[in-house]
Amino acid sequence: MASDVIVVGAGVIGLTSAVVLAERGRGVKVLTRSPSSETTSAVAGGLWWPYRIQPQEAAGRWALRSLPVMAGLAGQPETGVRMVSGTHAGLTPVELGPWSARVPGLRAAREAELPRGYDRGVRTRLPLLDMAAHLAYLQRRLAAAGGTVTVRAVRSLAQAGEGAAAVVNCTGLGARDLVPDPSVHPVRGQLVVVENPGVEEWFTAVDDHKGDSLYVFPQPYGVVLGGTARAHAWDRTPSPCTAQAIISRCSRVFPRLAQARILGHRVGLRPGRPRVRLEAERLPSGARLVHNYGHGGAGITVSWGCALEAADLVEG
């Protein structure tokens, strides 16, 4: 099968876009500067939730298109997707936005379901993804549909599109230089992974005025604790002080986490942008160029919805 569509980028947005196109019968080749295991997607916490993404109306639409796809993958261990119950504290369903009314089972939390210090929240059951397993699953699914992944830096989108009918730009933070698009910027997130002392549900909350989050995600390999959201910060080195602050915040909700053995530290740079760029234009060669980047902290959440829309744009 000839590669008539080039997808640039192999994070969750790039791989999902490639899978959708390949399963529609297109010849797809993914070009990526780094293997999927080294992308920002690989260090993400993995909960479906429209977090730090604009515009809200479109993000809600993409997220809701993704939700049933992910729910359908749950229960198949090889996909890395599980449906897990949990609580988001500090907001009511109405405050979340119109999208929340279409999430099955989402409801206001009862007082007895909230930890000390919170007077409101929501309860629901959502997809929680082990991202290493999920990215590997997407690569296998792409290969089964005839697509390929090549680790090779792309110097320009025009060069990538030579001889192709279409290019899909899923470069995330890399779009800042490749497009170039100076509105793309890093939003630094730091996580701590600890042994699981018995946490079975996820928990999230807005912690303070700084925009830091409090989240606890039980994964097969441990519990992911977070997190931070520092705009325009490029440093990928974990901060010991930040890690201790994360553990302290999470231990207020789950006291047993205070003594849990630390398994690792992670830092990822979310691809922030004032709004997601999902639109088409033409390259000088005449090839169709579809941009699909700038998803902030919600790339996992909107991945299938954006991939389906990007594929429609490729097909014109």
Q: Is pLDDT at 297 greater than 90 in this prediction?
A: yes
The pLDDT assigned to 139 comes to 98
242 assigned ligand-binding residue: no
Alpha-carbon distance of 56 to 5, in angstroms, equals 29
Q: Contact, 125 vs 85, CB < 8 A?
A: yes
- CA angle 181–290–185, rounded 5-degree value: 25
Share of the chain above pLDDT 90, in %: 95
| Rounded CA separation 299/294 (Å) | 8
Confirm or deny that 298 is annotated as ligand binding: yes
Q: Is 276 exposed, middle or buried (0-12, 13-18, 19+ CB in 10 A)?
A: buried
Query: What is the predicted pLDDT for the residue at 213?
Result: 87
25-58 residue pLDDT tens: 999 999 999 999 999 999 999 999 999 999 999 9
Q: Is 171 annotated as a binding residue?
A: yes
Residue 268 included in any domain: no
- The residue segments making up the domain with residue 20 are 5-84+127-184+274-314
Please give the model's pTM, rounded to 2 decimal places: 0.96
Q: Tell me what the mean pLDDT of segment 290-314 comes to.
A: 98
d(CA 8, CA 18): 9
Does a structural domain hold residue 102? no
Q: What percent of the chain has pLDDT over 70?
A: 97
Domain count, the chain: 1
pLDDT at 24: 98
- Tens digits of per-residue pLDDT, 57-98? 999 999 999 999 999 999 899 999 999 999 999 999 999 989
Tens-digit pLDDT profile for residues 249-271: 999 999 999 999 999 999 999 99
Tell me: pLDDT of 2 over 70.
no
Is 301 annotated as contributing to ligand binding?
yes
Average pLDDT taken over every residue of the chain:
96
In a domain, 206, yes or no: no
- In what helix (H) or strand (E) does residue 59 lie, and over which residues does it extend? helix 56-73
Residue 216 lies in a domain: no
97 labelled as ligand-binding? no
Confidence of residue 207 (pLDDT cuts 50, 70, 90): low
Q: State the pLDDT at residue 211.
A: 63
pLDDT at 206: 75
- 26 labelled binding-site residue: no
Query: Does 92 belong to an annotated binding site?
Result: no
Q: Binding residue per annotation — 41?
A: yes
**166 belongs to an annotated ligand binding site:** no
Which pLDDT does position 123 carry in this prediction?
98
Task: Tell the burial category of 240 from Cβ atoms under 10 Å away from its Cβ (0-12, 13-18, 19+).
Answer: exposed
Please state at what angle helix 299-314 crosses helix 12-23, rounded to 10 degrees: 40
Query: Do the Cβ atoms of 189 and 268 come closer than 8 Å?
Result: yes
pLDDT, position 210: 63
Domain of residue 310, CATH code: 3.40.50.720
pLDDT score at 1:
44
241, 213 contact by CB (below 8 A): no
300 in a known ligand binding site: yes
For the chain, the three-class secondary structure string (H helix, E strand, C coil) is CCCCEEEECCCHHHHHHHHHHHHCCCCEEEEECCCHHHCHHHHCCCECCCCCCCCHHHHHHHHHHHHHHHHHHCCCHHHCEEEEEEEEECCCHHHHCHHHHHCCCCEECCHHHCCCCCCCEEEEEEEEECHHHHHHHHHHHHHHCCCEEEECCCCCHHHHCCCCCEEEECCHHHHHHHCCCCCCEEEEEEEEEECCCCCCCEEEEECCCCCCEEEEEEECCEEEEECCCEECCCCCCCCHHHHHHHHHHHHHHCHHHHHCCEEEEEEEEEEECCCCEEEEEECCCCCEEEEEECCCCCHHHHHHHHHHHHHHHHCC
Q: Residue 145 falls within a domain, yes or no?
A: yes
Residue 78 lies in a domain: yes
- The verdict on residue 256 lying in a domain is no
